[in-house]
Amino acid sequence: MFIAMNNFKVRPGQEAEFEERWRTRESYLSDVEGFVHFALLKGEEPGDYASHTIWRDRAAFIAWTQSPSFAAAHRQGGSVSQVLDGAPHVRLLQSVITEGVPIG
């Protein structure tokens, strides 16, 4: 399992707009080989958000980043960036130990 996360800091008062832009975006993930799960997460600190995707493996994630679907999905990012306080921070994580029922 491979996890890709983008951490976002949203400008004060723009949280609802940020969530709405994610909610109404065109998602290209469901048809991507190796995609398992997506979640937009909201932290306890004001303006703290993370997008979280789970992939079968790193190769599936890399293939996604090199696909036309990735380019199309990320062209929508301009509208999200207008409500951010700085650039997102990317984290890429490889599972070492997993427990429980797989998502997806």
> How is the chain split into domains, by residue range?
2-94
Helix (H) or strand (E) holding 35: strand 35-42
Helix (H) or strand (E) holding 90: strand 89-94
- 45-53: average pLDDT: 96
| pLDDT tens string 77-104 | 566 778 999 889 999 999 999 898 777 5
Specify the pLDDT at position 3.
97
| pLDDT for 55 beyond 90 | yes
| pLDDT tens string 7-38 | 999 999 999 999 998 998 888 888 899 999 99
Q: How many beta carbons lie within 10 A of that of residue 63, not counting itself?
A: 15
Residue 10 β-bridge partners:
84
Structure tokens at 23: 């909610």
Specify the pLDDT at position 76.
64
Protein fold of 2-94: Alpha-Beta Plaits (3.30.70)
Q: Model-level pTM?
A: 0.86
